[in-house]
Amino acid sequence: MPEQPLDYFLADKPGAQPTHSLITEASQTLRRNRNEYLATLGNEQIIFKLAEVANLWRSPDYPLRQIALDADPEETGFPREVLAAGLDACFADWTQEKFFMLLTQEFGDPTRLQSFASQPNRTYSMVNSPQLIAHIAPGNLPVPVFQSIAFGLLLRSAQFVKCASGKSLLPRLFGHSLHFVEPGMAAALEIAEWDGGNESLESALFAEADCVTVNGGDKTVESIRQRLPLAKRLAGYGHRVSFGYVEKQANEVMGTQTVISHAADDIVAWNQHGCLSPHVIYVEENGSLNPARFAEMLAGELEARNETMPRGPISTKESAAISTARRFYKIRSANNAGAALWESEDSTDWTVVHEDERQFQTSPLNRFIFVKPIEHIDEVLHVLEPIRQSVSTVGLAASEARMRDLALPLARWGVPRICPLGQMQRPPLAWRHDGRPPLGELIRWADLETA
């Protein structure tokens, strides 16, 4: 790749402040570019290019990947090792086969993206994609932005990605790799940054877009919902929480160290900064692996992980939240008041709290995990009833047979995603975010009824 300054997207220009008219103009250009090129491409061409982009990102010496890994963690949100592992996990799944599986999952027949295909009831249907999608990107993780852009390309939609101020580096680097691989596709993509809630800029964007996706806090989603004209589609994803669940015989089937290691995988992935990361791991009582012992072993594992994949520095505010929680549990632990604490020395790098109280607890994150004993899956559902609407993912450690037994009540209760412990932050490409169809959510159908 030639050495050249990264100057293509609005967000590449330091100090450039977007305006209402600039956004309108940019959106119209994107739509025009899309009509001229992207909209004319076949599934194979788009998927081939996406897989090529992913290949580049998986390569350790890819210059844009190196820029990402060398960047100040303040800018990316993550230290080198954590970011590298997260990028690898994301792009490993971006294969041509998996993209086609996604299209099949969403549309039955991928050709429906380009023409009518028949349905069993003698009608024909095809996908009506949005011409322009506006993405309001989350500030915490980069992967959802990459996925949103890929999904938009699969739909042949022009896309305008709005990042929070100072948070556009990783989306931009991804955009540049696309530009390098296929400039025609990147011509239908714009990336800009401004502080969310700017009504003048956002009204320009919302007026132009056919569909808006939002990843962020519930307040952000709600505020955009209120400002969006009724005819526009909104795919809003607010904050969710996740937890792990260790069945009492899991350690006998899988080996204790494997279970512990899987739990640690989920805690160190993206330093817990994502809706899919666990706050609590429930461990069934009355098995051969005692929940307190599990917590102690997990502490040892997190200490070891911190050697190979350091958590890295965090903000004073985040560190204060951990310190505060630690001091609170420390004195409870010393008084045998239903809690025990394991913590890294002279840093807040990792913390494990074993607490008898079964209530779900939000963690201060950054490798702070609660381990709680639980009698049975039904007890979890009972104590989590107050947050039923907010659960995203449950990571299960259990034999395959037990996994199905446990999944049924969880699914019936309303958990949209159940996966093996250790995979919580590695959802498959085609996963249904909050239980909703990833592409189906963005499109309309066109039906042709024949005589």
DSSP assignment string, 346-367: TS-S-EEEEES--S------SS
- Check: CB of residue 312 under 8 Å from CB of residue 367: no
Please report where in the chains the tokens 């160190």 appear, as a residue: 268
DSSP assignment string, 181-242: H-HHHHTTEEEEE--TT-HHHHHHHHHH-SEEEEES-HHHHHHHHHHS-TTSEEEEE---EE
By CB under 8 A, is residue 1 in contact with another protein?
Answer: no
Structure token pair of residue 320: 């204060």
Report the residue number, 129 or 366, with the smaller CB distance to another protein. 366
Buried b (16+ CB within 10 A) or exposed e, 214-242: bbbeeebbebbeeebeeebbebbbbbbbb
Structure token pair of residue 56: 């580049």
DSSP strands (E only) in 285-387: 339-343, 351-355, 368-374
By CB under 8 A, is residue 200 in contact with another protein?
Answer: no
**Phi and psi based region of residue 385 (left: phi greater than 0; alpha: psi -120 to 50; beta: remaining):** alpha
- Binding span for another protein by CB under 8 A among 14-22, 80-88, 196-204, 361-369: 361-369
- Binding span for another protein by CB under 8 A among 128-136, 192-200, 238-246, 287-295: 238-246
By CB under 8 A, is residue 310 in contact with another protein?
Answer: no
How many other C-beta atoms are found inside a 10 Å radius of the C-beta of residue 108?
12
Shortest Cβ 380–another protein spacing (Å)? 15
Shortest Cβ 163–another protein spacing (Å)? 14
Q: Can you tell me which of 330, 358, 402, 432 binds another protein, judged by CB under 8 A?
A: 330
Shortest Cβ 343–another protein spacing (Å)? 11
Shortest Cβ 324–another protein spacing (Å)? 5
By CB under 8 A, is residue 331 in contact with another protein?
Answer: yes
By CB under 8 A, is residue 387 in contact with another protein?
Answer: yes
Q: Can you tell me which of 13, 315, 375, 408 binds another protein, judged by CB under 8 A?
A: 315
Task: Report CA Rg, the chain.
Answer: 23
Report the residue number, 253 or 383, with the smaller CB distance to another protein. 383
- Check: CB of residue 159 under 8 Å from CB of residue 38: no
Interface with another protein (CB under 8 A), residue total 47
Shortest Cβ 242–another protein spacing (Å)? 9
* Site pattern 61..80 for another protein (x: CB under 8 A): ----------------x---
By CB under 8 A, is residue 317 in contact with another protein?
Answer: yes
Q: Can you tell me which of 131, 277, 351, 423 binds another protein, judged by CB under 8 A?
A: 277
Buried b (16+ CB within 10 A) or exposed e, 403-413: beebbeebeeb
CA distances from 40 to 35, 128, 153, 248, 317 (A): 7, 14, 12, 55, 49
Shortest Cβ 81–another protein spacing (Å)? 18
DSSP bridge pairs for 373:
283
Run of H or E including 251: helix 250-254
Shortest Cβ 197–another protein spacing (Å)? 13
Q: Can you tell me which of 125, 131, 177, 348 binds another protein, judged by CB under 8 A?
A: 348
| Cα 314–chain centre separation | 20
Report the residue number, 106 or 349, with the smaller CB distance to another protein. 349
By CB under 8 A, is residue 347 in contact with another protein?
Answer: yes
- Binding span for another protein by CB under 8 A among 23-31, 169-177, 197-205, 311-319: 311-319
Closest C-alpha to 413, from 375, 437, 434, 382: 382
By CB under 8 A, is residue 324 in contact with another protein?
Answer: yes
By CB under 8 A, is residue 272 in contact with another protein?
Answer: yes
Report the residue number, 177 or 272, with the smaller CB distance to another protein. 272
Residues at the contact surface with another protein, assessed by CB under 8 A = 77, 139-141, 239-241, 272-275, 277, 279, 315-325, 327-328, 330-337, 346-348, 359-363, 365-366, 386-387, 390
